[in-house]
Amino acid sequence: MEFRTRKAHRLVLRDKDLLKYLCGMVLIIVAYLSAWTASNMNFIEEGFSLLTIGKDQDGSFFNACKPLWWDYVTEAGEAVLLLFGLHLGCAARNATVQFEERRFLWCSVFIELLFSSAFYVWRALAVHPIHPDVNLIAVFIRSHLTNTLVLLVLFFPKFWYHYKQHRDLQAQLTTNHQTLTKPRKMAPQATYLILMCQ
């Protein structure tokens, strides 16, 4: 990706640099997951249960996961990463691309931030413990809203762009072919001169 900033400095992001940034992000996630696993193992060794027992309206009991502080840390970290993605999308608004790809990338990150934040707020404000069936349905709806919309926002414009290019090229070739094969019409003055010469 190459774009100019307001001060007209040229910024080139090489593939090697991009891989460095992605490796750094993967290392951060691995460190987080290692700490999360270690803390949960510690809870289990000390006899602290990660499950809670809830009671349904009809009197039946169910097991559900307790909300832990790690969940809130994960949600906050995801929100920070998505906000940083929005910041990068705004910073890359002057990038030269084939079509408005940066706008669609920004929209996809915004969609993920919007639905994920709404889901996390609902889960934080819901009465605990949440029934596993209700939680499963909520996760399913959030997953499909974010993934389906993001895939549509990312890929539909690409397919439409390539389809439009192909259609415009076919129309141009058809027009050029018709102009080459169509017999030329003579101007009225030229026809008058030819008749006078005879």
Condensed to tens digits (0 to 9), the pLDDT of residues 57-108 reads: 788 888 888 878 888 888 998 899 899 988 888 877 666 666 677 788 888 9
Q: Kindly give the pairing relationship between strand 51-55 and strand 10-12.
A: unpaired
Does position 114 have pLDDT exceeding 80, yes or no?
Answer: yes
pLDDT on residue 193 = 45
139-180 residue pLDDT tens = 999 999 899 999 998 888 878 777 777 676 666 666 665 665
- Residue 25 or residue 183, greater confidence: 25
14-66 residue pLDDT tens = 778 888 888 998 998 899 889 888 888 888 888 888 888 888 878 888 888 88
Does position 190 have pLDDT exceeding 90, yes or no?
Answer: no
